[in-house]
Amino acid sequence: MRNSKYNKKNHYEKADPESLRHKRSVKRRRAQRRKKYRRRRIIALAVLLLIIFGIIKLISSIFNKPKDISLDGSLPAWYAGLIYQEKYHDYYRSPKKYVNESEKLLSVYDRASELVKELVPGSNHITTASSYAYDAGLIRKYIRGEATYEDPQKLVFLTFDDGPNTSITPQVLDVLKENDAYATFFVVGKNLSEKTKPVLKRTLMNGNSIATHSFTHEYTDLYPGRVADPAKIIEEYKLTQNRLENLLGEDFKSNVWRYPGGHMSWENTGESDDLLKENGVEWIDWNCLTGDAEPSGRGPKSEAEFVKYLDKTLNKNIHTNVAVVLMHDEQTKTHTVNTLQGVIDYFKERDYKFCVLK
């Protein structure tokens, strides 16, 4: 600054043209230098930006690199356990490439929802039903007063005997699904075929459980002279179980049996009970019913009458906090379908949890 003042002063004192030219050329060179520096600064800034951009790209590529599925903390713990088991079989064998984290997470959720719909190996229900599937032997003890159920959560086991078929069973399944309710289906072996296979599969996949109810349902074969034939009973259980395995896969196993006509109706059932038990099978009757198998003319007719019948039979029990309801999904049972909503509402209004037998 001091220099320029000095120069300015000189400029007025001696207006020498030579000196003026020199000053101008110095000014021009300085201006050119400034311009050059400005250009260099711009180039340097651009290079710096490029480097920063490159670093960001590199970091993001490291984090978004397709990698093996890791468990996410937000998944329910019991899902996570299943995914972990599956991980080594599935994802390691055929590693998938994921574009980003959300796509990866969606894929985990998809797989988890498939898993909950898979049969629990060696059981009669899918994974999602595990939270409401109860051991038939234990529930039998409760309804027979051999054990006391202490939990405040009331339990209802809707049961349907004598299916499956392609007319009534699908309608029963529809009503249950609409209500997020579940049931145990006591199937008769002779009704199990390629024709009823889709219905059977749907029964299972909807979160219901499948139990056995003999192969022939013939009282005279199973209980000649009203006396239970243990060998015949176990044979019919095995035949039915085999057919279920053929249709639902070798991992399917039902350990639940209901005597046609009911355990209470026949003599000498002790021996067959033991034989079933030796085969890992538990039997169960019921402690209330809608009366849908009463001979026509004697049984209830309207929905209100069915519910009244149910209420009356349930309240004959000392403890009503565990209800095993007898109903039928045989081909002729249109009234069972038509009154099922009322039955479900009865238990919903009283805060029962819908459960299945395993």
Shorter beta-carbon distance to Zn ion: residue 132 or 219? 219
Stretch that binds Zn ion, among 7-15, 108-116, 155-163, 331-339 (CB under 5 A): 155-163
* Residue 36 to residue 84: CA distance in whole angstroms: 63
Q: Please identify, using beta-carbon distances, which residue of 207 and 260 lies nearer to Zn ion.
A: 260
What is the total count of residues that contact Zn ion (CB under 5 A)?
3
As a whole number of angstroms, the distance between CA 335 and CA 328 comes to: 10
Instruction: Give the amino acid at 316.
Output: K
> What CA–CA distance (Å, rounded) separates 5 from 24?
16
| Nearer CB in complex with Zn ion: 127/214 | 214
List binders of Zn ion among 63-122 (CB under 5 A): none
Closest distance between Zn ion and the C-beta of residue 104, in Å? Answer: 50
Please identify, among the stretches 123-131, 252-260, 276-284, 319-327, the one whose residues bind Zn ion according to the rule CB under 5 A: 252-260
161 vs 273, beta carbon nearer Zn ion = 161
Burial of 134 (0-12, 13-18, 19+ CB in 10 A): middle
Name the segment binding Zn ion (CB under 5 A); options: 20-28, 38-46, 129-137, 257-265: 257-265
Is the distance from CB of 347 to CB of 155 less than 8 angstroms?
A: no
Task: Give, as ranges, the residues between 266 and 295 that touch Zn ion (CB under 5 A).
Answer: none
Q: What sign results for the dihedral spanned by CA atoms 126, 131, 132, 136?
A: positive
Tell me which stretch binds Zn ion (CB under 5 A): 40-48, 176-184, 223-231, 256-264.
256-264
**Nearest to Zn ion of 253, 333 (CB atom):** 333
Residue of 163, 164, 207, 260 that binds Zn ion (CB under 5 A) = 260
Tell which one of 98, 129, 162, 358 touches Zn ion (CB under 5 A).
162
Calculate the alpha carbon distances from 106 to 66, 72, 89, 111, 128 in Å: 15, 11, 19, 9, 19
With CA atoms as reference, report the closest residue to 347 among 327, 329, 322, 328. Answer: 322
DSSP state of 325: E
Residues 251-263 as b/e (b if ≥16 CB within 10 A, e otherwise) read ebbbbbbbbbeeb
Query: Residues with Cβ < 8 Å from 48, sequence gap 6 or more?
Result: none
State which of residues 86, 161, 229, 236 lies at the interface with Zn ion (CB under 5 A). 161
Distance from C-alpha of 110 to C-alpha of 98, rounded to nearest angstrom: 14
The token duo for 19 is: 């000196």
Name the residue with the smallest CB distance to Zn ion. 161
| Pair 104, 98: CB distance under 8 Å | yes
For residue 260, the minimal CB distance to Zn ion (Å) is: 5
Which span sits near Zn ion by CB under 5 A: 28-36, 118-126, 134-142, 254-262?
Answer: 254-262
Give whichever of 137 and 262 is closer to Zn ion, judged by the CB atom.
262
Q: Quick check: 166 and 195 in contact, CB under 8 A?
A: yes
In the complex with Zn ion, which residue's Cβ is closer, 161 or 236?
161
Examine residue 189 and tell whether it contacts Zn ion (CB under 5 A).
Answer: no
Least Å distance between CB 69 and Zn ion? Answer: 47
Residues 6+ apart with CB under 8 A from 128: 116, 117, 207
Residue 245 and residue 250: Cα distance in Å, rounded? 5
Stretch that binds Zn ion, among 10-18, 144-152, 162-170, 243-251 (CB under 5 A): 162-170
Candidates 289, 287, 256; CA nearest to 149 is: 287
Span interacting with Zn ion, options 28-36, 176-184, 253-261, 271-279, rule CB under 5 A: 253-261
Which CB atom, from 260 or from 300, has the smaller least distance to Zn ion?
260
- Write down the least CB distance from residue 140 to Zn ion, Å: 17
Residue numbers at the binding site for Zn ion (CB under 5 A)? 161-162, 260
